[in-house]
């Protein structure tokens, strides 16, 4: 009577004894073992790489996106730089106007009886008011000199007093094509001509600095001399200023009018 064996679970290997006492191994084929090769074969067809056309389309889309982002970023940087440059120019003009207004508000002039006509004295008026036109690099630019109590010092020593202040233009030392607007500030005595390489530069690279002087009748004059009978030996009522700055685009023009708080009665 042969030895019986318990049934093996599906999918396991069954070991049996044949009549000759030899072992025979047989693999049981289950439903799982029949389905697995079919699934693996289907996945082999479904898992595949990108085609050349898909790669080219992706590269083109990526290039368009990067170009758009770069253009937007470049525009942002350019606009930021332009705004910053504009703010810097406005600040320089504002500084010039503030200093000029403070100088004129502290204008110092000689009044009668101390003041006498220049033809009656050989000394002349040390505190005269003079506005002329000069030509620099082919451009007509105003030059203004007057006495003021607004003496500005940049060192540790501060000596208040009446200073001779001159606004003038000169060619830039490093670039002859550029014109700088400078300010001379000298205390008495006024023997020095009033221009020095050490004079501070108020604005660099200007294209124009025009001053006009308004008289008692409201007429504008391109020059002024308080020592001349043409102007009644007095100072103007106000000064109109027009400054033109060189920019990368069109020139920037700033105009304003500064009234003079100090006056002297005209002399006949």
Give 124-174 pLDDT, tens digit per residue.
Answer: 788 999 999 999 988 999 999 999 999 887 665 667 789 999 999 999 888
Count the domains in the chain.
1
* 179 falls within a domain: yes
* 218 falls within a domain: yes
Range of the domain at 213: 21-268
pLDDT greater at residue 16 or residue 253: 253
* 125 falls within a domain: yes
* 14 falls within a domain: no
* 11 falls within a domain: no
* 9 falls within a domain: no
Supply the pLDDT for residue 267.
81
Supply the pLDDT for residue 250.
84
Supply the pLDDT for residue 97.
94
Give 69-119 pLDDT, tens digit per residue.
Answer: 877 766 655 544 444 455 477 888 899 999 999 999 999 999 888 888 887
Supply the pLDDT for residue 231.
94
Supply the pLDDT for residue 160.
75
pLDDT greater at residue 266 or residue 192: 266
Give 9-47 pLDDT, tens digit per residue.
Answer: 444 444 444 444 444 444 444 444 444 455 454 544 455
Q: How confident is the model at residue 194 (pLDDT cuts 50, 70, 90)?
A: low
**DSSP letter for each residue of the chain:** -PPP-PPPPTTSEEEEE-TTS-EEEEEPP-HHHHHHHHHHHHHHHH-----HHHHHHHHHHHHHHHHHHHHHHHHHHHHHHHHHHHHHHHHHHHHHHHHHHHHHHTB----TTT---GGG-SS--TT--EEEEEEETTEEEEEEEEEES-----SS----S-EEEEEEEEE-SS-TT-EEEEEEEEESP--S-S--TTSPEEESSEEEEEEEEE-TTS-EES-EETTSGGGTTS--SEEEEEEEE--SSSPEEEEEEEE-S-------
Supply the pLDDT for residue 175.
86
* 78 falls within a domain: yes
Supply the pLDDT for residue 126.
87
* 29 falls within a domain: yes
pLDDT greater at residue 171 or residue 121: 171
């Amino acid at each position: 009577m042969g030895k019986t064996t318990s049934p093996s679970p599906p999918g396991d290997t069954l070991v049996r004894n044949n009549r000759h006492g030899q072992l025979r191994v047989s693999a049981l084929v289950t439903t799982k073992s029949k389905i697995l090769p079919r699934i693996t074969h289907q996945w082999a067809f479904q898992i595949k790489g990108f085609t050349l056309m898909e790669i080219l389309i992706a590269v083109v889309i990526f290039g368009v996106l990067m170009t758009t982002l770069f253009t937007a970023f470049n525009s942002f940087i350019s606009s930021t730089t332009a705004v910053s440059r504009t703010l810097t120019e406005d600040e320089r003009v504002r500084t010039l106007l503030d200093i000029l207004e403070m100088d004129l508000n502290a204008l110092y002039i000689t009044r009668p009886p101390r003041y006498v006509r220049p033809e009656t004295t050989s000394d002349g008026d040390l505190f005269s008011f003079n506005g002329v036109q000069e030509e620099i690099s082919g451009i007509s630019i105003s030059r203004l000199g007057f006495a003021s109590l607004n003496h500005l010092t940049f060192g540790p020593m501060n000596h208040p007093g009446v200073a001779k202040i001159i606004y003038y233009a000169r060619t830039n030392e490093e670039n002859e094509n550029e014109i700088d607007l400078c300010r001379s500030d000298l205390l008495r005595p006024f023997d020095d001509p009033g221009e020095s390489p050490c004079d501070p530069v108020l604005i660099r690279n200007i294209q124009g600095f025009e001053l006009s002087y308004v008289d008692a009748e409201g007429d504008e004059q391109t020059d002024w001399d308080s020592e001349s009978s043409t102007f009644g030996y007095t100072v103007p009522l106000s000064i109109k200023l027009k400054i033109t700055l060189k920019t990368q685009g069109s020139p920037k023009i700033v105009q304003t009018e500064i009234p003079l708080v100090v006056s002297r009665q005209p002399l006949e």
